[in-house]
Every structure is written in structure tokens, then in C-alpha cells.
Amino acid sequence: MTQENTLSLFHPKLISWMKDKRWTGLTAIQQAAFNTIYCGEDCILEAPTAGGKTEAVFFPVLSREANKKTDSVQVLYLAPLRALLNNVELRVAEYAEICGFRSFKWHGDVDNRGKWKEFNNPSHVLMTTPESMEAIFQSKPGWIKYFKNLSTVIIDEAHNFAAGDRGSHLASILERLDDAIKKKPQRVALTATIGNPDRLLLWLAGTKRTPGKRIYASATNEKKKNYKLELFDDSSDDATGPAENMAKYQLFTTLHEGLINHRSLVFVRSRNQAEAFAKAFAEEAKTRSRPLKVRTHHSAVSKFFREQAEECLKIKGESGIDAVLSTTTLELGIDIGEIDRVYQIDGNPSPSALLQRVGRTGRRSESPQQFFHGLLNDPDDLIVMAGVVSLGLKGKSEALIMPSRSFHIIVHQLICMAHQAHGVQPSKAWEVLSGCDSFKDITYDEYNTLVSHLLEMRILRDVDGDLVVGEEGEKKFLGAGGRRLFAVFETGPMFEVFEGKNHVGSLDSGFVESLCKEMPFYFVLAGILWKAEKVNLEAHLVNASRSQAGDAPVWNTFGGHDVSWEVAQEIGKLLKKGETPEFLKGKARDVFQARCNQWESVPWVPGQVLFVAGLKTDGQLITFAGDRINRTFAKLLLADKIIPKGRVSASYDSIDFKPFKTDMSVVELLQQYWDSFKEMSEGAMVKKLEVVASGKPFSRLTACLPPQFLAATYIDRAMDCKGLKTCLNQWGKIRILIKA
């Protein structure tokens, strides 16, 4: 369809508005998506940051729906953050009004009087979060009438939802909504570039719909990519003071100079790090004639000051600010105007996050480049970030690993459905929930076993064949005005690590949950070996102490985050290629080249697996398969008791074996079991892992699960049996290298 034909279907007043705004035409994604969305088909829109995805979905939906105005919500827009809702509200409200519609933003910061007024006189466009949708279901009798004419559901930043608990909850909400209004509204998901869009289509469709279309558009007016990584190593040879302090000072100075005369975003790993840098800038400002003005933006900053920081960054000149120091809160599509530069302190192993962050820059037509500068103080961070940036330069992202056995979310939804309707038949609940992709590998027999367990625990009780909330369910979930039920996913995907009162950093939830069954466990963070002394699963806290010399970590993870298969493979390719990437600057080039030299004599080939064997019972299985796949393989070795507990560890590049007493070498052991591993089905892997995977509950929801389902939930979150099976099929035979 030509752009002229597309525009002929636009609402006439939208055409006039575009002329008034001097739009020269539609963006690539707006042109590509219009007909599919206008015709009511399910789809995902995949495009880089600032590609115009919001308009790409709202223009065709509003143009179509304007001819069918009704007395209920017609368009439902769901976003992961209140801040994102606040940010898009004015734009969406303007587009809706142009087409003769009213819109309403509904979340926890909106007063109840406004919500009741809206509920009694529905707007045509509702903007909200999944948690607020749950609250509507629970607390607003007659909500089915409120949504009776719903035609389209729009899910913004869908990649942010899909791979986690909130995505499983959102999918459940959509199935319950379809069942209640007895129709299947169009589903449209907006996403940044991801590595497996077809998988996201399956998540969006669930098990009762035919998957929709993927609509993709690359960036128009491709900009020059100015990406670089620098290393400020704590062991700097020319340090005149303590090496660590000198490295940190050099990093700070480089960042300070780079921010002068440029509006910038600086991404950091933690809230503490953001505030520490802000304090350092404030101290430095006392000595400067032209001090830098910076703000922080993270979950601990109040809504008022977060929004103030966003607005100040848009302002040019002295009345604005130079930079915002942010955690992931500004990674999503919040409008912060035109940004010149993006900096990142320490690493982040996600190419998708990199592309979203760097997509903030170079958006002005006169801007010649996208600018990204990574400032690192750990050599291991550097190696991982080299793989991330290399993929980012190619426009490639990692694949999302979606859950399919989310037993704990079924617990949540059974409580919600029982509370909402004052009772629900278990067969009816399963009929609805089985439509969710997040539950597709849960059998009906398993579901019935779970229901029986919840009845025994008095989370639920049976009243004439209906499930209602039981005594224990009321205590755990219905207190505090029901807020526990609506905000059950308030804990993030990370555990905060403390040494005494000092904040060390963060660890991935899957990593902690995989190890906390047996205390203590060991991990590497900020280049230091730590011993976990205590884990608070409810509060997502880890208390740790520095490990004594000679201890080895049971598990490794990069800066608290899992390194994906895609990034690990790219790292392996770069190291084996032996050429230093152009984006590495200064000392980073030397460190990377030294690491390449270490790998020069190791005959590992991408797509294969190599075992570097010791003289007897130690060795290293080199895979570059990523954290989750290697973790899964190592756990299987323990499940089959091939390797004794504590004698195997895993990281993104390898599985390492420590010496242990046995009649056979590790080589002989692996060769003996290799073929059986290759023949093992994905389901068989899961069953073996369940033997060693029974962990501790990590939320109020998982505390309600029987042991076998707690283990299954942990495997679903922390392991990747499907990925391992794929790798085993590709690897072929083990290649052996005997160390001299």
C-alpha cells in the first residue's frame, strides 16, 4: 500500500493535525503497520527507539474506531510503568480528542473520585497497567459492562513484560477479559528489537488464538554509530595513589569532561551508584566556574523529582540540566527530548538494553551520530561488553526466554478469580487460564494437584464445588485493603547485596534462587569473590562477606545478570578472531588483546564444544553457551551424580571441574554419558533437574506451592533445557585437549 493510499484511510482531522505539525510523511513503522492494524489483525510492532511506534498503532486504531463510537472502553493501552503512562498521556489524549474520543489514565496515583467518575461514564481510550486492571476486576462491580465494546488491546514495551512474572499476569488478565466480554479484541504489542520475535507472537496469542504478524521496520536515516568502551582498571601501573582510587578518579574525570556542553543520559547499575556519582559531581561543582548540573532518576526517587528531571533534561541552555544519572527507569520509552550522548558505568550484558539506550541519541535530523560510551573498571566486564557492543553494532538482540510453567502465577490467579466472583469452579478457572502461553506446559492433572494442595493449605476452600478464598489466603493476600493481591509482583528481578551496611551491588533473581537452597554459596561481584551468609527471599536481600583466598565460586554470573547465548557466542567469536575491535579505546585495547592471546592456542570453534582436560579429574568444558545453558548442564551432571556436589561450577563461557576422587577421569566420565545426554528429551531433563532443584520459596506465591511445583517453577525461571537440547544437537562429539 502506498503512503497516499494509507493516508486516505486516516481520520480527516488527523490529516489536518499532521499538516499543522508540518509532518513530511509517515515513518517506516507507521507506513508498514497501518493496514494490518486498521483491519483488526493481531500483530507485534518491532522498531528501534524513536521510530514512532505509539503513533503507528494509535493512528489506525483511532481512525477505524471513530466510526463506531460506543458507551464503553474501546481501546485499552497497557504499559509497564506509571511513568510511561504519565509520559504518553498527553500525546494519546490529543490524538483521541482529535478523533472525537475521550481518554483516561488509570493508576495508583489517580484519586478514587476521578476513577469512579470515569467508571460511571467510560472514556473510549483507557491507559493503565496490568496491576490496575486487576484492581478494577477486584473492586469495581460491573466492570464487564465497562469493557463490553472493547476492540483493541495495545501492550507497550511488551519485551519488558513477556519474560517475567508480570507478563504471565498480563496474559492471564487478557484471557479473563476475553472470557468475560465474550469476544476476542485485537491484540497489538509494541517492542524494541528482540532476538526471537516469533516467540513473542506466541506469548501474545496464547494457546487459543492463531499467532499474528510481525511488523518490522529498521531505523530510517541510519546514523553513524560512535560507540566506544574504556577500561579504568583498579590495577593501573602508573597510579600515584591507591590503584583503586586512581582508577575511579580517572573514570569520574573522563565522564565529567564528556558531559560538558552535551545533554546526556548516564546509566548506572544501582540506586546507590547513581547517588554516589551525583554527590561527586556536587563536590566537583564547588571548584568549577561552570559546574555541571545533574539529577538522579531511579525507583527510590519520588515521582515529583523523577518527572522534574525528565522535564529539565528537555530544556536547552542554562535553565536546563546537563545529565540524568539513571538506573533502568529511563530505559523504556519515556520522552526526555533530544539527547546528545549516552554513557554507561559498568556493564550490562543485554544488547537489547544497549540498543534502547543508545537509540535515545542522534534523533535530531541534524545530529550526525548515535553516541554511546561505556566506562568500565573490571576486565571481565570489558570482555562481556565487547560482545554486547559488537552485537549492538549489527543491530542484533538476545532472545527472550519465556516461562511456560508458572505455577505460582496460577496460585495468584486462582485467588484473584475466587475473590473477584466470590467463588469460581476449578474447571472454569482452568478453561480460562489454560489459554495463557505462560501455563502451556502445565497439565490438567498438575493443575488439579495444585488446587488440592491449596485446599489443604487453606489458601482456598471448597464451597459447594466453587473455590473461594480460604482463611490462610485471606491472611496472606487480602490484607492491607487487598493491595498485597494487586501488587504481588512488587519485588524486582534483582537481589540487592550488602556487606554489613554497605551496598555491594545486585544479583539476578534466577541466580540467587538457583543457589539459596544450600547456604552458604559463593559468587563474584564487582571483581570480588563473595560468600553469601544470609538470603532474605521476601525482601530480595543478600548479606555477604568477602571470601577467604583459595575459595572458588560455586557459580559465576556477570555483574548479577545472566549472559545470554547470543552474547556468549559473540564473545567467543571475537576472542578467537584475535582482532581488537575499533570501539575499544586506550587500556581496553591492551586488555582485550591480552585475552585474545590467551585463547589463541585453544582450538575451540564456534558451534562446537571443547574439553580442556587436566591430568586426572579436573578440566574445563568450553562452550560459550551462556549462563543459563551452562548452569543447566552443570545441574544435570549433579542430578545424575556424575560429578560430586561442589565440584562443578558454571559461567557463560565454560563449565569447570575441580579435582575429586574417582576411578575415571572427567574426560572418561563425560564421554561415557555424552550420548545419553544428547538423546535426553527436554522433558526428561526437566524431570532430572527437579530431583536437585527443590529450592526455598522466593515469594508469598511460591510459598504456597508443593515441593515438586516449587522445583518446576525454579527450573522454568533459572534453567534453559530447550536451549541446552538445541546446543547438544549442534555440538556433536566432545573434542578433547589434554593439558601438558
Q: Is there a single domain that holds both residue 204 and residue 233?
A: no
**513-522 pLDDT per residue, tens:** 666 666 787 7
Q: What is the pLDDT of residues 400-432, one digit of tens each?
A: 999 999 999 999 999 999 999 999 999 999 999
Query: Is beta strand 648-650 parallel, antiparallel or unpaired with respect to 369-376?
Result: unpaired
pLDDT of residue 589: 96
pLDDT at 725 over 50: yes
Q: What CATH number has the domain bearing residue 446?
A: 1.10.10.10
User: In the chain, how many domains are there?
Assistant: 3
Q: Which of 172, 189, 216 finishes a domain?
A: 216
- Helix, coil or strand: residue 191: strand
Greatest mean pLDDT range, 82-86, 276-280, 580-584, 734-738: 580-584
Quickly count: other Cβ atoms within 10 Å of residue 69's Cβ.
Answer: 12
- pLDDT at 483 (0 to 100): 67
**Per-chain mean pLDDT for the chain:** 87
- Assess if residue 531 is contained within a domain: no
pLDDT of residue 513: 67
Q: Are residues 322 and 259 in the same domain?
A: yes
- pLDDT above 90 covers a percentage of the chain that reads 50
Residue 340 C-alpha cell reads as 546528545
| Phi-psi map region of 586: left, alpha, beta (phi>0 left; psi -120 to 50 alpha) | left
pLDDT > 70: percent of the chain: 89
> Higher pLDDT residue, 732 or 458?
458
Which of the four pLDDT bands, split at 50, 70 and 90, describes residue 486? low
Tell which of 325, 356, 377 closes a domain: 377
Lowest mean pLDDT among 205-209, 537-541, 716-720: 537-541
Lowest-confidence region among 304-308, 593-597, 685-689: 304-308
Place of cell 583503586: 244
pLDDT band per the 50, 70, 90 thresholds, residue 528: low
Write the CB contacts of 464 (distance below 8 Å, at least 6 apart in sequence): none
Give the β-pairing of 528-536 and 521-525.
antiparallel
Count, residues in the chain: 740
Whether residue 442 is predicted with pLDDT greater than 90 in this model: the reply is yes
- Tell me how far apart the alpha carbons of residues 343 and 463 are, in angstroms, rounded to a whole number: 58
Does residue 254 carry a pLDDT above 70? yes
Domain membership flag for residue 265? yes
Average pLDDT over residues 259-288: 85
Instruction: Tell me, yes or no, whether 324 and 441 share the same domain.
Output: no
Cβ contacts of 462 within 8 Å, gap of 6 or more: 455, 468
Q: Which three cell numbers stand for residue 643?
A: 560429578
CA atoms lying within 13 Å on the CB side of residue 635: 28
Res 557 pLDDT > 70:
no
Last residue of a domain, one of 377, 396, 418: 377
- pLDDT above 90: residue 726: yes
Q: What is the pLDDT of residues 213-253, one digit of tens each?
A: 999 987 655 678 899 999 997 654 444 445 557 778 888 89
Q: What's the rounded mean pLDDT across residues 459-463?
A: 97
Average pLDDT of the residues in 27-54: 91
Res 685 pLDDT > 80: yes
User: Is 187 in the same domain as 248?
Assistant: no
- Is residue 643 within 8 Å of 691, Cβ to Cβ? no
Q: Does residue 623 surpass a pLDDT of 60?
A: yes
Instruction: List the grid coordinates of 466.
Output: 466453587
Residue 560 pLDDT grade (very low, low, confident, very high; cuts 50, 70, 90): low
Q: What was the pLDDT predicted at 220?
A: 56
Structure confidence at residue 490 (pLDDT): 45
- pLDDT the model gives residue 231: 95
What integer pLDDT is reported at residue 193 of this predicted model? 82
Average pLDDT over residues 482-507: 70
* Same domain (yes/no): 174, 228: no
Q: Are 667 and 591 in contact (CB under 8 A)?
A: no
For the sheet containing 125-128, what is the strand order? 103-106, 125-128, 75-78, 152-155, 186-191, 43-46, 213-216
659: three-class secondary structure by DSSP = coil
Sequential DSSP letters for 371-404: EEEEEES-HHHHHHHHHHHHHHHTT--PPP---S
CATH number at residue 326: 3.40.50.300
Per the domain annotation, does 508 fall within a domain? no
**Residue 586 in domain:** no
Across 162-182, average pLDDT: 95
Within this chain, do residues 179 and 233 fall inside the same structural domain, yes or no? no
Res. 525 pLDDT band, cuts 50 70 90: low
Residue 124 CA to residue 154 CA, distance in Å, equals 13
Q: Which domain holds residue 299?
A: 224-377
What pLDDT shows up at residue 615? 59
Residues 205 and 77 both lie in one domain: yes
Within a domain: residue 134? Answer: yes
pTM, whole model, 2 decimals? 0.87
Q: Is 686 helix (H, G, I), strand (E, B) or coil?
A: helix
**What is residue 54's three-state secondary structure?**
helix
Sheet holding 502-508, edge to edge: 502-508, 494-499, 541-546, 528-536, 521-525
pLDDT exceeds 80 at position 555: no
- For range 197-221, the mean pLDDT: 90
pLDDT at 237: 47
pLDDT digit string (tens) for 444-453?
Answer: 999 999 999 9
- Is the CB of residue 609 less than 8 Å from the CB of residue 735? yes
Helix (H, G, I), strand (E, B) or coil at 189: strand
Q: What is the pLDDT of residue 524?
A: 65
Residue 157 and residue 118 share a domain: yes
- Whether omega for the bond prior to residue 520 falls within 30 degrees of 0, making it cis, is yes
Residue 265 and residue 361 share a domain:
yes
Q: Which DSSP letter does residue 361 get?
A: B
Domain presence at residue 110: yes
Task: Give the Cα separation of 163 and 172 in Å (integer).
Answer: 14
Predicted local distance difference test score (pLDDT) of residue 667: 82
210 and 236, same structural domain?
no
User: Is 252 contained in some domain?
Assistant: yes
Q: Which tops the pLDDT comparison, 79 or 301?
A: 79
Question: Do both 68 and 184 map to the same domain?
Answer: yes
Over residues 650-673, the pLDDT tens digits come to 999 999 988 777 777 788 888 888
Q: Which of 222-236, 382-396, 516-530 has the highest mean pLDDT?
A: 382-396
Output b/e per residue, 435-472; b: 16+ Cβ within 10 A.
bbbbbbbbeeebbeebbebbeebebbbeeeebbbbbee
The closest alpha carbon to 616, from 739, 452, 455, 472, belongs to 739
Whether the pLDDT of residue 552 is over 50: the answer is no
Q: Give a yes or no: residue 487 inside a domain.
A: no
Task: Note whether 17 and 129 are same-domain residues.
Answer: yes
DSSP letters, 433-452, are: HTT-GGGTT--HHHHHHHHH
